[in-house]
């Protein structure tokens, strides 16, 4: 039952609030779901419905909801120094301590960080740094950034341009020049006419072909997520990353790994690039850095780039009012402390990830499921019309959205990307909660199948 208070909020929301990634007309007609409270891995809406948050918010609330220590860290810092900037050679203790701690946790060749307010800003920063680096090296013609179709790197103009989401490119005018996209290593979606490992090599060959087309001397960097998140929790074939690395080394092209989702334990290592043994030159970060409690992002900068920027660069004309915001930095610092104290990364790698893999795989027998895959605490289900052939549903049926809405009704937040259902739960989820998540997902699949029948 919707209370008068909730009805009022829904009306105001429809009348005045333009939501991100939302069909405004559909929202104004159907209204929104208003989330009012949360605890652990559960959220609750204004109508009293409790849901297991299988997406950790937007892949970010890694420590779960209701962490009083994070609230206290914010409150103390608010009292001590609510704001100061880090421009023009000023600093404050939280930003300094956080920079040092991040560099201690990052791979050895990374010893600098530039703070931003979000993952999109981190990718904008990265783009400017990459081009500046090559200019300082006397190679200003090295401008091109190669990224991937269906990759996601944010929603600012540069983030959208770096990403490979065609519907985003179609809105809002021309993209930032000097960015090009190659095919993605999405075996289930695009490669099933060959075996997985062959397909991984074909995708890496596409990188080499594009480099040669552009001229290696004109290519600055390759940008990718370790596992594509918003594109559909796409784990590349094992052959992919070693082959990509070899190509980049051959042509002296920088590797940028977008760790906005995969960083901070999601794949069972501090950074997703460590799972695949990559040594990126730059790593955009955000989300899990503060467990989503406050907005903060950054770029972790490898020594090769940092030495050039520091020794040869002079002033870098770039920064944000909230770069290294003291309250956000204090919360991020506390997040990293809790993660280490509770051995979150090791637990995902050794216990929760393998447990989810085992339980998630049981959904593969469902008639709607063409593939069930997971890595660490990220998983996907491919919904298909014909299990034997893997044939997809007609897109006009919007089966993924139907399943997502059914999930909400059954008490699970699972996101849909086309007909791919994805999960990315808080990293503190327990075995019992994983069991509950899998049971709820099965119930939603059953209900979706019933609606389609």
Contact residues for ligand PLP, defined by CB under 6 A: 58, 118-120, 123, 152-155, 159, 225, 229-230, 258, 260-261, 286, 297
Distance CA 245, CA 268 (A): 21
Minimum distance from residue 56 beta carbon to ligand PLP (Å) = 12
Residue with tokens 């972790």: 300
In Å, how far are 136, 260, 283, 417 from 276, measured between CA atoms? Answer: 30, 16, 14, 24
Which residue's CB comes closest to ligand PLP? 119
Distance CA 123, CA 410 (A): 36
Minimum distance from residue 331 beta carbon to ligand PLP (Å) = 15
Instruction: Give residues with Cβ within 8 angstroms of 373, minimum separation 6.
Output: 188, 233, 235, 360, 379, 380
For residue 423, the cross-strand partners are 379
Report the residue number, 289 or 444, with the smaller CB distance to ligand PLP: 289
Report the residue number, 152 or 187, with the smaller CB distance to ligand PLP: 152
Distance CA 316, CA 304 (A): 17
Give SS3 for 176: coil
Residue with tokens 């259902």: 421
Minimum distance from residue 120 beta carbon to ligand PLP (Å) = 3
Q: Which of 118, 52, 102, 58 is nearest to 339 (CA)?
A: 102
The torsion angles phi and psi of 186, rounded to 5 degrees, stand at -105, 90
Report the residue number, 58 or 135, with the smaller CB distance to ligand PLP: 58
Report the residue number, 336 or 422, with the smaller CB distance to ligand PLP: 422
Q: Which of 158, 156, 155, 136 is nearest to 145 (CA)?
A: 158
Minimum distance from residue 123 beta carbon to ligand PLP (Å) = 6
Report the residue number, 163 or 200, with the smaller CB distance to ligand PLP: 163
Q: Which of 327, 324, 308 is nearest to 316 (CA)?
A: 308
Minimum distance from residue 117 beta carbon to ligand PLP (Å) = 8
The DSSP string of 343-369 is: THHHHIIIIIHHHHHHHHHGGGGSTTE
Report the residue number, 143 or 424, with the smaller CB distance to ligand PLP: 424
Minimum distance from residue 419 beta carbon to ligand PLP (Å) = 20
Minimum distance from residue 292 beta carbon to ligand PLP (Å) = 10
DSSP single-letter state for residue 155: S
Residue with tokens 């970010």: 60
Q: Which of 96, 60, 100 is nearest to 81 (CA)?
A: 96
Report the residue number, 260 or 329, with the smaller CB distance to ligand PLP: 260
Minimum distance from residue 191 beta carbon to ligand PLP (Å) = 22
Q: List the 415-417 sheet strands across, edge first.
A: 369-375, 378-383, 420-423, 415-417
Q: Which of 298, 232, 342, 293 is nearest to 86 (CA)?
A: 298
Report the residue number, 225 or 382, with the smaller CB distance to ligand PLP: 225
DSSP single-letter state for residue 304: H
Residues 13/35, Cβ–Cβ less than 8 Å: no
Report the residue number, 294 or 399, with the smaller CB distance to ligand PLP: 294
Minimum distance from residue 122 beta carbon to ligand PLP (Å) = 7
Report the residue number, 19 or 431, with the smaller CB distance to ligand PLP: 19
Minimum distance from residue 403 beta carbon to ligand PLP (Å) = 21
């Amino acid at each position: 039952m919707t209370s008068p208070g909730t009805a009022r909020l829904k009306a105001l929301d429809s009348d005045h609030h333009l939501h991100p990634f939302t069909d405004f007309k559909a929202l104004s007609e159907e209204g929104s779901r208003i989330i009012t409270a949360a605890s652990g891995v559960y959220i609750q809406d204004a109508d009293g419905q409790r849901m297991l948050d299988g997406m950790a918010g937007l892949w970010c609330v890694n420590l779960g909801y209701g962490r009083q220590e994070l609230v206290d860290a914010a409150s103390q810092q608010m009292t001590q120094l609510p704001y100061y900037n880090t421009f023009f050679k000023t600093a404050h203790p939280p930003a300094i301590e956080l920079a040092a701690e991040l560099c201690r946790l990052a791979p050895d060749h990374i010893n600098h960080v530039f703070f931003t307010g979000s993952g999109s800003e981190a990718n904008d920063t990265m783009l400017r740094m990459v081009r500046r680096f090559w200019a300082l090296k006397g190679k200003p013609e090295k401008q091109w950034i190669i990224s991937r179709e269906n990759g996601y790197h944010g929603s600012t103009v540069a983030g959208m341009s770096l990403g490979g989401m065609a519907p985003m490119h179609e809105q809002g005018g021309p993209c930032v020049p000097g960015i090009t996209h190659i095919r993605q290593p999405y075996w289930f979606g695009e490669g099933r006419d060959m075996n997985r490992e062959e397909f991984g090599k074909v995708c890496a060959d596409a990188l080499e072909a594009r480099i040669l087309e552009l001229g290696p001397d004109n290519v600055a960097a390759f940008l990718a997520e370790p596992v594509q998140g918003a594109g559909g929790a796409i784990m590349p074939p094992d052959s992919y990353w070693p082959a990509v690395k070899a190509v980049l080394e051959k042509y002296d092209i920088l590797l940028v790994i977008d760790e906005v989702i995969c960083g901070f334990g999601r794949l069972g290592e501090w950074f997703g690039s460590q799972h695949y043994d990559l040594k990126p030159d730059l790593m955009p970060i955000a989300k899990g850095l503060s467990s989503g409690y406050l907005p903060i992002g950054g770029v972790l900068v490898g020594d090769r780039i940092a030495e050039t920027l520091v020794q040869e660069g002079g002033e870098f004309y770039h920064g944000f009012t909230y770069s290294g915001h003291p309250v956000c930095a204090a919360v991020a610092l506390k997040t990293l402390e809790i993660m280490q104290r509770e051995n979150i990364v090791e637990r995902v790698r050794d216990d929760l990830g393998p447990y989810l893999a085992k339980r998630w795989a049981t959904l593969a027998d469902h008639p709607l499921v063409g593939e069930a895959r997971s890595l660490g605490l990220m998983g996907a289900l491919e919904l298909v019309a014909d299990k034997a052939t893997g044939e997809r549903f007609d897109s006009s049926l919007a089966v993924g959205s139907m399943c997502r809405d059914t999930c909400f009704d059954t008490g699970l937040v699972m996101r849909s990307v086309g007909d791919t259902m994805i999960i990315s739960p808080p990293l503190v989820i327990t075995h019992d909660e994983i069991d509950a998540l899998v049971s709820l997902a099965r119930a939603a699949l059953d209900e979706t199948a019933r609606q389609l029948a």
